[in-house]
Amino acid sequence: MNARLPTVLLLAVAAAGCAQLAYYGQAANGQFSLLDRAHPVDEWLADPNLDAGLRAKLKLTKQIRRFAVSDLNLPDNRSYTEYADLQRRFALWNVVAAPALSLEPKQWCFPIAGCVNYRGYFSQDAAKKFAASLRQQGYDVQVSGVPAYSTLGWFNDPLLSTFIRYPDGELARLVFHELAHQTVYAKDDTQFNESFATTVEQVGVERWLAAVGSQKTRDAYVQFEGRKEEFLALLLQYRQRLASNYASELSDAQKLQQKAAIFLALQVDYQALKVKWGGYAGYDHWFAEPLSNAHLALVATYYDLVPGFKALLAQQQTLKKFYAAVAGLAALSKEERHRRLEELAKSRPT
């Protein structure tokens, strides 16, 4: 257990006041419990009774971790060198909320992470209880399970049972993404942080597959990425339809009627996409709750600024210089860093 946890909790409570004590308490307890379950990968591998599938994945993570440092210049620390069996499907559950006639997500602000567009809980029941209180206030709400998250270098983030059995390319992608959050982080700018991490994951997996991936692994990842791009395109299409509806001159009642029709059409189009994919159901979980603005509020967060970041990487040529340039952007105001990334995206050859 990292000794900084009590200090972090005390700072958070002092800054936020007693009203937030219960929330920070569950966060601290959840983090403590997670880290308490973590043991070095080599200790797990020394167990002769270890499941063969898990053994193979843990061995693979050692190679992925070395590649992250040697080829991607990502942090060389103890993160993802330990493994924890959480005995549950997700590491935590995020609550996202948006007004009934808007795609602008509600924000919550924290002393360390700054302002973010979600609120995380280590208990699904607690997340659902908070979501219910937001619905009573008139918000559209989504509760979604999260297999992994980054503590931004405050702790040594372990590998988790919630994602360890992912396909090889997906496992590498996730580790690269979370390590990127430890490399550069801009407070109060989820879109910047996630788009940066997405850029690093995409470049990282491309290089990793080229260097060590088998043809089977490469083919599987190409198929996965193709489906993800098609699903994202579908969501962005319907997000735009909703945005146009909310910006129209219709009455609120008419907008709500149109909103319901748009979400129904989205479900129909998704079923058609599944048929095209041969029945692949990997995104069914996204439809587990009734569709709402909260489902689409963050859909562009991970991708909108990626073209700008990729243009910056091409300009800087090496990842080391790229990270330094991104750190420079993080030091600017949110408006200025976004403006520069948008300008870079425009200059990128198509």
pLDDT single digits (tens) 97-126: 999 999 999 999 887 678 889 999 999 999
- Residue 182 predicted with pLDDT over 50: yes
Model confidence at 20, pLDDT cuts 50, 70, 90, reads confident
Q: Cβ(227)–Cβ(281) under 8 Å? A: no
> How many other β-carbons are positioned within 10 Å of the β-carbon of residue 71?
14
Interstrand relation of 159-160 and 82-84 (parallel, antiparallel or unpaired): parallel
Mean predicted confidence (pLDDT) in 22-36? 92
Report the percent of the chain where pLDDT is more than 90: 85
Find, among 79, 32, 83, 25, the residue nearest to 59 by Cα.
Answer: 83
Give residue 11's pLDDT.
Answer: 41
If one compares 200 and 188, the residue with the highest pLDDT of the two is 200
DSSP string, 190-253: HHHHHHHHHHHHHHHHHHHHHHH--HHHHHHHHHHHHHHHHHHHHHHHHHHHHHHHHTSSS-HH
**Residue 200 neighbours by CB under 8 Å, 6+ apart:** 72, 74, 176, 177, 179, 180, 183
Q: Is 109 helix (H, G, I), strand (E, B) or coil?
A: strand
Structure tokens at 142: 């989504």
Give residue 4's pLDDT.
Answer: 34
Model confidence at 269, pLDDT cuts 50, 70, 90, reads very high
Mean predicted confidence (pLDDT) in 149-159? 93
First to last CA, the chain: 48
Mean predicted confidence (pLDDT) in 179-200? 95
Give residue 302's pLDDT.
Answer: 86
Structure tokens at 298: 């963050």
Q: Cβ(182)–Cβ(75) under 8 Å? A: yes
Mean predicted confidence (pLDDT) in 307-336? 97
Give residue 12's pLDDT.
Answer: 42
Using left for φ > 0, alpha for ψ between -120 and 50, and beta otherwise, residue 155 falls in beta
Model confidence at 6, pLDDT cuts 50, 70, 90, reads very low
Q: From residue 16, how far is each of 10, 49, 81, 133, 163 by CA, in Å?
A: 10, 47, 33, 20, 32
Q: Cβ(116)–Cβ(107) under 8 Å? A: yes
List, for residues 193-222, the tens digit of each pLDDT value: 999 999 999 999 999 999 998 999 999 999
Model confidence at 350, pLDDT cuts 50, 70, 90, reads low
Give residue 66's pLDDT.
Answer: 98
Model confidence at 340, pLDDT cuts 50, 70, 90, reads very high
Give the separation between CA 164 and CA 54, rounded to whole angstroms.
Answer: 8
Give residue 320's pLDDT.
Answer: 97
- Residue 33 predicted with pLDDT over 60: yes
Sheet containing strand 92-98, strands side by side: 119-121, 92-98, 140-146
- Residue 19 predicted with pLDDT over 80: no
Model confidence at 16, pLDDT cuts 50, 70, 90, reads very low
Report the percent of the chain where pLDDT is more than 70: 94
pTM of this structure: 0.89
Q: Is the dihedral of CA 31, 37, 40, 44 positive or negative?
A: negative
Burial 8-20 (b: 16+ CB within 10 A, else e): bbeebbeeeeeeb
Question: What mean pLDDT is reported for the chain?
Answer: 92
Give residue 22's pLDDT.
Answer: 84
Mean predicted confidence (pLDDT) in 228-252? 97
Mean predicted confidence (pLDDT) in 251-261? 98
User: Which of 16-20, 69-73, 142-146, 257-261 has the least mean pLDDT?
Assistant: 16-20
Give residue 1's pLDDT.
Answer: 33
